[in-house]
């Protein structure tokens, strides 16, 4: 029940982020088109990129909650197909904005965007920061692995670039300095390059998706120690992880006493799974494969010695 509650909470949190980013994209895109601000249009593409990433994350979390034992992500899964389509659209949009901005710079900019563009960008920075803080608090509360891609915060750099470009152009209009008008499309050109790079990385990341994600050394060691503490586990052969949204599903191979019954082996596997899902909040599920330990020392020799000694007596 606790796992289901965390999954449902994570799904709701992703949905809130999704609607927030979608709203930012619509408002920025609409105001950018009405005011003629290339920088704001490019900033809208950045919000669209964040929205696309949240869409795929939401689909992964929902799929993991509905079917924790689902096969890991591949390019044939719905969320991967959606990621490819969205990233391709992002690439095209970024290229179009970049070409349009370059043409504006080459042909000369005759007017500055309206003050509304500056207000929307400034308000968007505040809303985006609120969404990021909400997402981080939700991740900590739900025991989700914190998304390390948030550390770079390229969205802040993009929004600040757009703010500087549009503000400079508006200042140029207020003080009759037409030379500053070029700052808006120049900012749009810079942002479009960032958006194209993001689209390329998203597409390449989906196409090169691995079968298993790599665990950090500290995480792998903690998982290994937790499995080894379970009574009945003789050795751990392998621990692999598959991403399911913000959670992971573990594939584990353990070795047990070869003299125990199949039922006892399955009971050990069940206890391993329960230990991992309870202790590690980011572990959605664990698929435990049970294999017999080498029938050499200590089991075979010890048991045979006990049997022989009892027969002699």
Reported as a single tens digit per residue, the pLDDT across 197-236 is 888 887 776 666 555 566 666 678 888 889 989 999 998 9
Q: Are residues 151 and 235 in the same domain?
A: no
Residues 248, 166, single domain; the answer is no
Same domain, 38 and 148: yes
| Residue 274, domain extent | 217-312
Quote the pLDDT of residue 134.
83
Same domain assignment for residues 188 and 124:
yes
Q: Is residue 119 part of a domain?
A: yes
Cα 197 from chain centroid (whole Å): 17
CA–CA separation, 199 vs 176, rounded Å? 38
Give the residue, 287 or 203, on which the prediction is more confident: 287
Shared domain for 166 and 255, answered yes or no, is no
Whether 183 is covered by a domain: the verdict is: yes
For residue range 92-134, list pLDDT tens digits in order: 888 999 999 999 999 988 888 989 999 999 999 999 889 888 8
Which of 150-159, 177-186, 249-258, 282-291 comes out lowest in average pLDDT?
150-159
Q: Are 111 and 92 in contact (CB under 8 A)?
A: no
Same structural domain for residues 39 and 185? yes
Position 97 in a domain: yes
For 147, the 3-state DSSP assignment is: coil
Residue at 212 is within a domain: no
Residues 101 and 241 in one domain: no
Structure tokens at 196: 């194209």
116 with 57, same domain? yes
Do 173 and 233 fall within a single domain? no
Which residues are CB-neighbours of 65 under 8 A, at least 6 positions away?
4, 7, 8, 10, 11
Query: At a CB cut-off of 8 Å and minimum separation 6, what does 250 contact?
Result: 223, 239, 240, 241, 242, 276, 283, 285, 286, 287
CATH number of the domain to which 267 belongs: 3.30.70.1350
Nearest Cα residue to 42 out of 158, 199, 142? 158
Same domain, 131 and 64: yes
**175, 207, 239: which is the final residue of a domain?**
207
Q: Is residue 295 part of a domain?
A: yes
* Average pLDDT over all residues of the chain: 79
d(CA 242, CA 73): 8
Confidence tier at 66 by pLDDT (50, 70, 90): low
Last residue of a domain, one of 187, 207, 227: 207
The domain tally of the chain equals 2
- For the sheet containing 247-256, what is the strand order? 235-244, 247-256, 283-292
* Cβ partners under 8 Å of residue 53, min gap 6: 202
- Residue 140 structure tokens: 């900590």
Which residues contact residue 218 at a Cβ distance below 8 angstroms, ignoring those fewer than 6 apart? Answer: none
216's CB contacts (< 8 A; 6+ apart) are none
Q: Are residues 19 and 60 in the same domain?
A: yes
User: Is-above-0.85 flag for pTM?
Assistant: no
Element (H, E) at 159: helix 154-174
Q: Which of 207, 229, 249 is the last residue of a domain?
A: 207
Give the DSSP letter of residue 181.
G
What is the per-residue pLDDT across 148-201, written as a single tens digit (0 to 9) for each? 444 446 788 899 999 999 999 999 999 989 989 999 999 999 999 998 888 888
Is residue 25 situated within a structural domain? Answer: yes
Residue 287 domain flag = yes
Indicate the angle between helix axes 115-142 and 38-66, nearest 10 degrees. Answer: 20
- In terms of domains, do 164 and 288 share one? no
């Amino acid at each position: 029940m606790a796992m289901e509650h965390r999954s449902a909470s994570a799904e709701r949190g992703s949905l809130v982020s999704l609607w927030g980013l979608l709203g930012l994209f619509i408002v920025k895109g609409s105001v950018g088109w009405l005011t003629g601000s290339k920088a704001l249009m490019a900033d809208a593409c950045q919000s669209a990129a964040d929205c696309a990433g949240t869409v795929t994350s939401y689909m992964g979390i929902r799929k993991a909650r509905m079917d924790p034992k689902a096969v890991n992500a591949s390019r044939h899964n719905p969320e991967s197909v959606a990621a490819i389509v969205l990233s391709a659209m992002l690439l095209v949009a970024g290229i179009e904005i970049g070409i349009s901005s370059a043409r504006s710079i080459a042909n000369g900019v005759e007017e500055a965007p309206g003050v509304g563009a500056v207000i929307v960008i400034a308000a968007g920075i505040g809303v985006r920061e609120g969404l990021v803080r909400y997402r981080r608090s939700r991740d900590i509360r739900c025991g989700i692995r914190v998304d390390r891609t948030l550390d770079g915060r390229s969205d802040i750099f993009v929004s600040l670039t757009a703010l500087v470009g549009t503000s400079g152009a508006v200042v140029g209009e207020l003080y009759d300095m037409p030379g500053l008008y070029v700052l808006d499309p120049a900012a749009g050109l810079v942002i479009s390059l960032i958006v194209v790079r993001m689209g390329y990385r998203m597409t390449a990341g989906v196409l090169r998706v691995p079968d298993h994600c790599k665990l950090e050394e500290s995480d792998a060691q903690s998982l290994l120690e937790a499995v080894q503490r379970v009574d009945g586990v003789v050795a751990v052969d392998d621990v692999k992880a598959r991403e399911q949204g913000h959670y992971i599903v573990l594939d584990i191979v353990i070795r047990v006493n070869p003299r125990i019954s199949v039922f006892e082996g399955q009971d050990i596997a069940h206890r391993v799974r329960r230990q991992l899902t309870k202790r590690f909040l980011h572990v959605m599920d664990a698929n435990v494969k049970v294999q017999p330990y080498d029938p050499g020392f200590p089991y075979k020799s010890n048991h045979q010695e006990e049997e022989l000694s009892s027969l002699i007596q």
